[in-house]
Structure 1
Amino acid sequence: MASVMDAETNNPEISKSVLAGGLLTNYHDDGEGHPVVFIHGSGPGVSAWANWRLVLPKISRQARAIALDMVGFGFTERPANFSYNVEAWVKHLVDFLDALELDKVDLVGNSFGGAISLAAAVRHPDRVRRLVLMGSGGVRGPMTEGLDEVWGYTPSLANMRRMLDIFAYNRELVTDELAQIRYEASIRPGFQESYSQMFPAPRQRWFDSLACSEADLCRLPHQTLIIHGREDRVVRVEDAYRLETLIRRAQLHVFGECGHWTQIEHADRFAQLVCNFVAEGAANEPLPLS
């Protein structure tokens, strides 16, 4: 197995570690109360910290905020010849919950992470209390040209700048410094090697493979908060409307002047929505039997 856990020191992306199904898993864990588990997207060089760094401190004031690097991403172990697919990612997530002795959690998933959250809720409904889906995959439909470019990324500073242009509506967020940081992240040992294995062309098949059936989505019993950027070029806003139609206990919030980075472009408002939703779940929890 190849590990990058010890590749750097004083890196805020690296925090705690736990063996989850035999995989040494990097994760962040702060705050107290009901556990809220954050699952990142699938952009090149992504990690849990890169994805959620602006909102974890806000949400950890109210709940136990946990964000892990999924297998194949960030600073979690990358097994040789690993088969990356939705079943493997769901298994890693459930193994992680077991390792932390978490019986039931709220899941917050971004894009790819939303698809994994939905798949986990379908397969293990008793392990999930509430769902938050942000710019989420998980429903069948045509993939965007933007996502095809993201999954087809080959490392260069110019290509990373192009990726950030696709992700963000607000171009002021796409600085040369950010592009340099994300580019350097994408070329860390093992990062691009595992990334290039996940979604080879033609890529529509991988987008479809992450989707749940409409029948399964209709049967989901969970309260679900769907958040999407109106100008998202990675996952269509139409997919969010479709999810809201299929999931019977869903609510949808669409942010104008926002791309695929709601948690970055509108960090305060995103965090407030999630905090309110989590708190509502806690208020409606049945009292334990005496």
Structure 2
Amino acid sequence: MTIQSAEPLRSPAAGAPPESRFATAGGVTYHYYDIGTGPDTIFLHGGGPGCTAWSDFGPVAPLFSNDRRCLLVDILQYGQSEKCLISGPMWDFHAAKMVALMDELGVEQADFICNSWGGTIALNLAARYPDRVRSLVVTGSMPVFYGPLAPLPERGHRGRTARDVYYGGEGPTREKMRTLITRLEWFDADRLPEETLDMRYQQSLDTEERALAAMSDSPRGDWQDLTEQLGLVEAPTLFIWGREDAFLTPDYPMMLARMVKRGNLHVMDHVSHHLQEERPGAYHAVVEGFLRAVDHL
């Protein structure tokens, strides 16, 4: 008897994006999608070249939108959101602007589902504005620059180095994007849909994003270590991690789960940094189970 895999060899690509929406809040303009009805749930994507809310969460968002209002937000400097310069502590800047966006959209409190860069924003937001966060789901984020495997790979700057390589030399190419995704973000290169590759590559050609990447002075604000802030996070938090994460192995989120008062850790096999794209069905099942458990806390 042949046992077939529960998921197809190639991961599902994001379909056509829903209607674009824009909102000005805190003096900046955000681009976002608003789909589904139910509890307010904000999705924040990662910081890789060409990442957007739809590229990172498009494959899994329809599963959540069956019973949730899903707000998929392009982080500032990404996608169609404003390419503003960020000054001062970077995570404080993002958290304050995100709260202003919540105010503008009439969202008093939300569950946050986040990848990498977006997860660090949400952790800081939960620490500084605890009443605005019901729960957190965090994948692949690096809020502190130390851990059980110190020194961290490339001193914790692997993502920054990858960005410099991608935009450096002859500049962005489709094959450089394929190499970046399959080396650092996906476990199984054969599962990467060509549509996802094209979406990321085309967005990375955005003239304003390329200009930010080329600036000698950091346009992203001052780097922050969130050690003190993690101890202030009251919201139930699920760190859901890829066993083969190319940036930080599961020892690191185990440390984070202990630093957050109500931290939990789930490690998923055969995925790296973008669990929600590579295995969206399995990712949704785990996250939805956690969110239902939060209802009974």
Q: TM-score range by the shorter chain?
A: 0.7 to 0.9
Q: What corresponds to 2:30 in structure 1? A: 25
Deviations 1:154-197 (A, max 9, x none): 12233212211221101113456543442221012312222445
Partners of 1:115 and 1:210 within 8 A in 2: no
Indicate if the aligned counterparts of 1:13 and 1:48 stay in contact, CA closer than 8 A: no
- Of structures 1 and 2, the one with the larger relative CO (CA 8 A, separation 6+) is 2
Aligned match for 1:130, one of 122, 135, 141: 135
Letter of the structure 2 residue corresponding to residue 240 of structure 1: P
Unaligned 5+ runs, structure 1:
1-10, 285-290
Greater Cα shift, 164-173 or 36-45 = 164-173
Letter in 2 for 1:83: S
Q: 1:15-58 CA deviation, whole Å, 9 max, x = no partner?
A: 11111212221101111121010110001011100010011110
Alignment size in residue pairs: 268
Helix, strand or coil for the counterpart of 2:295? helix
**Cα distance between partner residues in 1 of 2:91 and 2:215:** 14
Q: In the alignment, which residue of structure 1 is the partner of 2:284?
A: 271
Q: Mapping of 1:242-261 within 5 angstroms? A: 242-261=255-274
Q: Is residue 211 of structure 1 aligned with residue 214 of structure 2? A: no
> How many angstroms apart in 1 are the aligned matches of 2:224 and 2:65?
29
| TM, length-normalised to structure 1 | 0.84
Contact 1:71 1:92 in 2 (8 A): no
The 5-angstrom pairing of residues 187-226 of structure 1 reads 187-197=205-215, 209-213=223-227, 215-226=228-239
Are positions 1:50 and 2:60 aligned together? Answer: no
- Secondary structure in 2 matching 1:219: coil
The answer on 1:234 being equivalent to 2:247 is yes
Q: Which runs of 5+ in 2 are unaligned?
A: 1-15
2:225 corresponds to which letter in structure 1? A
Whether the aligned pair in 2 keeps the contact of 1:14 and 1:75 (CA below 8 Å) is: no
- Report what 2:178 is aligned to: 161
In 2, distance between residues paired with 1:256 and 1:211?
Answer: 29
In the other structure, the counterpart of 2:275 is: 262
> Is the 2:192–2:278 Cα contact (8 Å) retained in structure 1?
no
What is the RMSD of the two structures over their aligned residues, measured on CA atoms?
2.5
Q: State the secondary structure of the residue aligned to 1:248.
A: coil
C-alpha deviation, 1:138, in angstroms: 1.2
Query: Where does residue 190 of structure 2 map in the other structure?
Result: 172
The percent identity for this pair of structures is 28
* Native 8 Å contact 2:276 2:284 kept in 1: yes
